[in-house]
Amino acid sequence: MKIQLLENCIEALPANQVPSILHAGTVKDVDEAYGKRLVEQGLAVPFEDKQEKKVKSETPDDTWTVADLVNYAEEKKIDLGGAKKKDEVLAAIAANKPLSA
């Protein structure tokens, strides 16, 4: 389980290891039971990395980077009309979607 700490705390370790201080804001992979306990105590929240979850789709959408969208538009000979931001580029591609072969 991946968590992000909300407060400083001491990491629980087996008896033969020296515990370390975990600082607020730290993102850490911990075992499920320990992570749930920290969340229940209000010391941490479950952490989801939005970048990890996004997998580039087959068709242009918001999972694509602007550079990927621009390259796609160039390959498909789509005029972006000066679009620079991701939502603008996506709109230009959608408006000028090439016909399937």
pLDDT in tens, 14-26: 777 888 888 888 8
User: In the chain, what percentage of residues exceed pLDDT 90?
Assistant: 11
The residue among 90 and 54 whose pLDDT is bigger is 90
Q: Which SS3 state, helix, strand or coil, does residue 4 take?
A: strand
- Enumerate the domain spans of the chain: 2-51, 55-95
Sequence letter at residue 32: E
For the segment 52-74, the average pLDDT, to the nearest whole number, is 82
- Best-predicted range by mean pLDDT among 3-12, 43-52, 86-95? 86-95
User: In the chain, what percentage of residues exceed pLDDT 70?
Assistant: 89
- Within 10 A of 65 (CB to CB), how many other CB atoms are there? 11
pTM, rounded to two decimals = 0.45
